[in-house]
């Protein structure tokens, strides 16, 4: 039996359309940021709402942007979010409002869904993170900046979630 104040295991899944740009970038930035902050007992993953890119590696521009900023960028393969993964997650972090809608189509109206931009105190509420896939390398740098601005808020959510006993009936929702 674990001590009363020990952190719970927490699963955060970042979600975008194809799981080759924004969501894997967020996963890698969050993982590195949590490690740097000494935040343990949390697992980060990413998934897409579409099957278009299944099995594909991270977009080379996304990988280059991460690598140049000092983050790892290897080993990723795109996969599609399914209902079981969505329901098992403590927090589903969507990149755009469209992804929130798609998550709900996949798994129902979960109270664990949030937009990444809602964790950035300087972002417009509900704004989301624009898709860099259609542009050049600068768009990926902008995406990385948006991720780095929001990930501290995600980590704060994880810390709060880990301090909330899971058997107390407390509201552990993302909102």
Annotated catalytic residues are 16, 22, 131
Structure tokens that stand for 32 in this block: 């590195």
Strand (E) or helix (H) holding 16: strand 10-16
Q: What is the C-alpha separation between 31 and 44, in angstroms, rounded?
A: 6
Structure tokens that stand for 52 in this block: 């278009």
Please, are residues 127 and 117 in contact by the beta-carbon 8 Å criterion? yes
Please, are residues 64 and 109 in contact by the beta-carbon 8 Å criterion? no
Residues forming a β-bridge with 44: 12
* Residue pointed to by tokens 């006993």: 165
Q: How many CB atoms lie within 10 A of CB 170?
A: 11
């Amino acid at each position: 039996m674990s001590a009363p104040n020990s952190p719970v295991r927490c699963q955060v899944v970042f979600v975008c359309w194809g799981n080759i740009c924004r969501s894997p970038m967020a996963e890698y930035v969050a993982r590195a940021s949590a490690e740097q902050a000494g935040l343990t007992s949390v697992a980060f993953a990413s998934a897409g709402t579409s099957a278009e890119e299944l099995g594909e590696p991270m977009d080379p521009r996304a990988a280059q942007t991460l690598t140049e900023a000092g983050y790892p960028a290897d080993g990723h393969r795109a996969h599609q979010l399914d209902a079981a993964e969505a329901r098992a997650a403590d927090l589903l972090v969507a990149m755009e409002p469209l992804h929130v809608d798609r998550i709900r189509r996949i798994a129902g109206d979960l109270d664990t869904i949030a937009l990444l931009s809602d964790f950035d105190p300087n972002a417009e509420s509900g704004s989301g993170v624009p898709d860099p896939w259609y542009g050049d390398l600068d768009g990926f740098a902008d995406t990385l900046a948006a991720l780095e601005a929001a990930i501290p808020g995600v980590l704060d959510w994880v810390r709060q979630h880990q301090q909330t006993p899971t058997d107390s009936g407390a509201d552990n929702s993302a909102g």
